[in-house]
Amino acid sequence: MTLPPTTPMAPGAHKFPQVTGIRWFNVAILVLTPLIAVYGLAFVPLVTKTTVFACGYYLFSMLGITAGYHRLWSHRSYNACLPLQIFLMLGGISSVQGSCYFWARSHRSHHRWTDTEKDPYDSSRGLFWTHLGWIIFKTKLRSGPVDSSDLGTDPLVQWTHYNYFPLAAVFGYALPALIPALWNDFWGGFCFSGALRLTIAHHCTFAINSLAHYLGSTPYDDRLSPRDHLLSAILTMGEGYHNFHHQFPMDYRNAYLWYQYDPTKWFIAVCKLLGLASNLRVFPSNEIAKGALTMQLKHLKKVQDSIIWPREVEQLPIVTWDNFQEESKSRPLILVSGFIHDVSTFLDQHPGGAACLTKNTGKDMTAAFFGGVYRHSNAAHNLMSMMRVGILAGGVCPPNQSIPPSQVLFVARRQQPDTQPDTPTQ
Ligand SMILES: [Zn+2]
Ligand SMILES: [Zn+2]
């Protein structure tokens, strides 16, 4: 039996896909909701009680997405007791972004197939596609397969999936209007804790798929598009440390240092203190440090490759003492640590004066250089190594003095057995 070939799914630049239809229901939600919010801002007076309620309901909706739909159900990064599950599920539903079953499966597919054609919000298709396009357009694209068997057997996930539309109508629109009606502000509730809250929650959440794959740094891996940025984190209740998250998706934190802005992480940690959450998963800090160091070394390697270094010892000619003496008559050559240096271009810049060099041409100045006359700095040692023109046959190099300070530590690339040697970056 022959094993079937796989279809390569390498990340790449993909165009905006061909649109085959419009998802009018989603368009209606995403157009009418902001229009109601704008109408409210223009014509409905803002009541303090409603404003406070709207802010609280916004947190409820956002935590439902970030701590619920995302970290609990998409990634199973912690366990939640049933009351917390219900709270988060209703919060997620109140943000009107589809059922948890739909949301978590799409998100798992995004992680499994990041930046490929099977990624439902493939970042290479542009910001508009990842922010809104994939929600409002029908295309021939299909999300890549993922294991969602746990979601398929989760009664809460399944029940809310099959009852999503009435639940979304109640928790997304009706309740945020009816609760302020208790203090006679139905329209304020409808426009602000309903429509305005939803509009902000929608676009802040969508920013995880768009902005968090576009703006920021890649401190753990730069092969794919996810990025870390404080702005994305502020907009998304801490989800903006997206480079970290794509590297360590099972970690309940998106920002692993306790003080980094990640309110969702703090919320989950408090739930644990209250006994509502358990089994908070964290990636070993040793492995996180490896990821960070890999990127730091990669950056340092680039810097290292951009610097001009002294000639390799193997490239220098070995000359006799007599040759050294002979050549010293026509140009200022100084012997230090067994290396012959041509200091002619440095005479005017020598802080100790040119005469100090010219009168010692043809001499071994090792002792003088390393403290006999003046204990030269690391910078002087580095600079002098650039003037090496030869090695004295039989010359003696004092221990630990042949390698300039700037070359004691260096970044080297290990070659995989089947790859070609690296070409230095120019
Ligand atoms: Zn992502
Ligand atoms: Zn995720």
Residue 340 lies in a domain: yes
User: Could you tell me the distance, in angstroms and rounded to a whole number, from the CA of residue 59 to the centre of ligand 2?
Assistant: 19
Let me know whether 82 and 167 are in one domain.
yes
Let me know whether 320 and 248 are in one domain.
no
The closest ligand to the CA of 65 turns out to be 2
Let me know whether 291 and 321 are in one domain.
no
User: Could you tell me the distance, in angstroms and rounded to a whole number, from the CA of residue 233 to the centre of ligand 2?
Assistant: 14
Residue 332 lies in a domain: yes
419, pLDDT greater than 90: no
What are 264-280's pLDDT values in tens digits?
999 999 999 999 999 99
31, pLDDT greater than 80: yes
Let me know whether 126 and 167 are in one domain.
yes
User: Could you tell me the distance, in angstroms and rounded to a whole number, from the CA of residue 30 to the centre of ligand 2?
Assistant: 23
User: Could you tell me the distance, in angstroms and rounded to a whole number, from the CA of residue 64 to the centre of ligand 1?
Assistant: 18
Q: Read off the pLDDT band of 420 (50, 70, 90).
A: low
- Strand, helix or coil for residue 318: strand
Least confident stretch, 12-26, 52-66, 100-114: 12-26
User: Could you tell me the distance, in angstroms and rounded to a whole number, from the CA of residue 198 to the centre of ligand 1?
Assistant: 21
Q: Read off the pLDDT band of 17 (50, 70, 90).
A: confident
The two tokens of residue 287 are 């492995």
| pLDDT at residue 306, rounded to an integer | 95
200, pLDDT greater than 70: yes
The two tokens of residue 27 are 């368009």
User: Could you tell me the distance, in angstroms and rounded to a whole number, from the CA of residue 258 to the centre of ligand 2?
Assistant: 19
9, pLDDT greater than 70: no
| pLDDT at residue 2, rounded to an integer | 64
Q: Read off the pLDDT band of 360 (50, 70, 90).
A: confident
User: Could you tell me the distance, in angstroms and rounded to a whole number, from the CA of residue 19 to the centre of ligand 1?
Assistant: 23
User: Could you tell me the distance, in angstroms and rounded to a whole number, from the CA of residue 66 to the centre of ligand 2?
Assistant: 9
- CATH code assigned at 390: 3.10.120.10
Least confident stretch, 168-172, 337-341, 397-401: 397-401
Let me know whether 259 and 174 are in one domain.
yes
Residue 1 lies in a domain: no
Let me know whether 269 and 157 are in one domain.
yes
Question: Mean pLDDT over all residues of the chain?
Answer: 90
The closest ligand to the CA of 242 turns out to be 1
- What is the mean pLDDT of the segment spanning 32-51? 97
Q: Quote the domain boundaries for residue 319.
A: 313-407
User: Could you tell me the distance, in angstroms and rounded to a whole number, from the CA of residue 68 to the centre of ligand 2?
Assistant: 11
User: Could you tell me the distance, in angstroms and rounded to a whole number, from the CA of residue 66 to the centre of ligand 1?
Assistant: 13
* 74 vs 426: which has the higher pLDDT: 74
Let me know whether 285 and 326 are in one domain.
no
User: Could you tell me the distance, in angstroms and rounded to a whole number, from the CA of residue 236 to the centre of ligand 1?
Assistant: 12
328, pLDDT greater than 70: yes
User: Could you tell me the distance, in angstroms and rounded to a whole number, from the CA of residue 219 to the centre of ligand 1?
Assistant: 15
User: Could you tell me the distance, in angstroms and rounded to a whole number, from the CA of residue 400 to the centre of ligand 2?
Assistant: 50
Residue 181 lies in a domain: yes
425, pLDDT greater than 70: no
Residue 10 lies in a domain: no
Let me know whether 234 and 87 are in one domain.
yes
User: Could you tell me the distance, in angstroms and rounded to a whole number, from the CA of residue 71 to the centre of ligand 2?
Assistant: 7
| pLDDT at residue 374, rounded to an integer | 73
User: Could you tell me the distance, in angstroms and rounded to a whole number, from the CA of residue 30 to the centre of ligand 1?
Assistant: 21
Residue 252 lies in a domain: yes
* Percentage of the residues of the chain whose pLDDT score is greater than 90: 69
Q: Read off the pLDDT band of 399 (50, 70, 90).
A: low
| pLDDT at residue 350, rounded to an integer | 84
| pLDDT at residue 181, rounded to an integer | 97
The closest ligand to the CA of 146 turns out to be 2
| pLDDT at residue 426, rounded to an integer | 40
Looking at the structure of the chain, the number of domains it has is 2
User: Could you tell me the distance, in angstroms and rounded to a whole number, from the CA of residue 172 to the centre of ligand 2?
Assistant: 23
| pLDDT at residue 398, rounded to an integer | 62
Residue 285 lies in a domain: yes
- What is the mean pLDDT of the segment spanning 181-192? 97
